Amino acid sequence: MIHWDFEYMLAPYVTTGLQHGRLYFGFGSVQREVVDPVEYEPLLTVASLWKSYKTPRQVFEEARDGKHKLTDASCHRAIAMLGEGDFLCEKNTLLEKDERYKRPWLYYNLNGANPATVQSKLASSHVVILGCGGIGNFMATSLATAGVGMLTLVDGDSIELSNLTRQFLFSEADIGGKKIDVLRRELLARNPECKVDVLDLDIKTSEDLRKLPKADLIILSADTPGGLVWWMNDFSIELSIPFLNVGYVVDVAVWGPFVIPGTTGCWSCQSLVAEDDAPDTRVQSLISQVNRGSGAASTGPVNMMASSGALLDVFRYLGQFGSVESTNKRIGIWTHSLRIETQNCALNANCQACGHKQGGKLNSARTTL
């Protein structure tokens, strides 16, 4: 809702045009279709008068004067429509031409948030990225360049030739170097305002997670050892640190559930993955034989797609705007058909892992896949 005496201007992302016999005003999330041609001129006049900072009162007066001659009612309708739909930016919510965060600030405006407030929340956030491969590269780059205040990169691996198809901040010259060190160097080259710590660590047991620093969010972008996500789930619940798993199931790009302990469903609240243990020992043995020596397909686009979906949620969570889409569900994009599948992960009061956080009884926590 706009204030009659505050200054606003038409947001730079608002454009308009005629198609299919109607006026489209704004595109994307702010899009409105104006069907009645009588409404075109008042709306376009008011919008054209608002290309610089003015109060609604000033625009109203200008639109009614001798040059434009709009009626009071049509002026009010046009101003009301612009005021209700994130078409206007309040004064001091736009940055100058060469400022670093100019474009993201438009995005925060588009989402109905105050950009300065979002930027401040990002700057005071600390995110741990556990796994600095393809997804870790994309996630870390977006978070650092957007102004997240602190990142801790966790990985024990060195860079190999076969990483370069998707771990885009690494080059041939970096082969043999530690992923965390090269990634840190490349992030600081892009945004020295971000503080980047590194932790040279291969997670081998659930106890190793205790070496992670306290943070606002952990991004789990490592898929080994088996059982890691369950260890992380228990760790997250015990220390009340939110975490988000990002990865892929063969060619399905997957993120979620976004676990906020005590608030959302966790990995154990519902059945999310196929079990590899079976009551029948013969079947168990065969499953193990089939799964032995498996290796995940991994390409740049699938890594990027999972990272992109997850990043939208991470920015909404840290910046506290919009809604985090992957809470209480796990989202998968089938990359060959672009079908989106979601798995329910609603909070379960009898959950063995997080039930106690909800006032239920704590049973023995699951520690293996």
* Residues lying near Zn ion in the complex (CB under 5 A): 266, 268-269, 351, 353-354
Nearer to Zn ion, 252 or 266 (CB): 266
Q: Which residues of 283-304 are buried (b: 16+ CB within 10 A; e: fewer)?
A: eeeebeeeeeeeeeebeeebbb
Q: How far is the CB of 207 from Zn ion (least distance, A)?
A: 21
Cα–Cα distance list, 359 to 34, 241, 263, 329, 345 (Å): 51, 18, 12, 22, 18
Nearer Cβ to Zn ion, position 177 or 360?
360
CB 243 to Zn ion: min, Å: 13
User: In terms of CB distance, is 156 or 360 closer to Zn ion?
Assistant: 360
Least distance from Zn ion to the Cβ atom of residue 358, Å? 8
Q: How far is CA 62 from the centre of its chain?
A: 41
Q: What is the DSSP string of 188-246?
A: HHH-TTSEEEEEE----SGGGGGGSPP-SEEEE----STTHHHHHHHHHHHHT--EEEE
Closest residue by beta carbon to Zn ion = 351
CB of 228 vs Zn ion, minimal distance in Å: 17
Those residues whose C-beta lies under 8 Å from the C-beta of residue 160, and which sit 6 or more positions away, are 175
CB of 269 to Zn ion, least distance (A): 3
Which C-beta is closer to Zn ion: that of 126 or that of 366? 366
**How near is the Cβ of 275 to Zn ion at its closest, in Å?**
17
Minimum distance of Zn ion from residue 321's CB (angstroms): 26
Q: Nearer Cβ to Zn ion, position 236 or 268?
A: 268
Show the tokens assigned to 122: 């990002």
Q: How far apart are CA 211 and CA 203, in angstroms?
A: 10
Query: How many Cβ atoms sit within 10 Å of the Cβ of residue 16?
Result: 17
- Token pair for residue 113? 């948030």
Bridge partners of 25, per DSSP, are 16, 32
**Pair of tokens at residue 351:** 């959950």
* Of 206, 251, 242, 215, residue with least CA distance to 369: 206
Closer of 129 and 259 to Zn ion (Cβ): 259
Residue number, 148 or 218, with CB nearest to Zn ion: 218
**Shortest Å distance, C-beta 273 to Zn ion:** 14
Work out how close the CB of 261 gets to Zn ion at its nearest, in angstroms, rounded to a whole number.
Answer: 9
Instruction: Pull the structure tokens for residue 266.
Output: 């966790």
Rounded Cα distance, 173 and 177, in Å: 9
Asked if 191 contacts 123 with a C-beta cutoff of 8 angstroms, the reply is no
Q: Is 305 left (phi over 0), alpha (psi -120 to 50) or beta?
A: alpha
* Nearer Cβ to Zn ion (167/328): 328
Nearer to Zn ion, 153 or 269 (CB): 269
Which spans in the chain are helix H?
Answer: 40-49, 56-64, 72-84, 102-110, 115-123, 134-145, 179-190, 228-239, 281-291, 300-319
Shortest separation between residue 159's beta carbon and Zn ion, angstroms: 36
Q: Which residue, 131 or 355, is less far from Zn ion as judged by CB?
A: 355
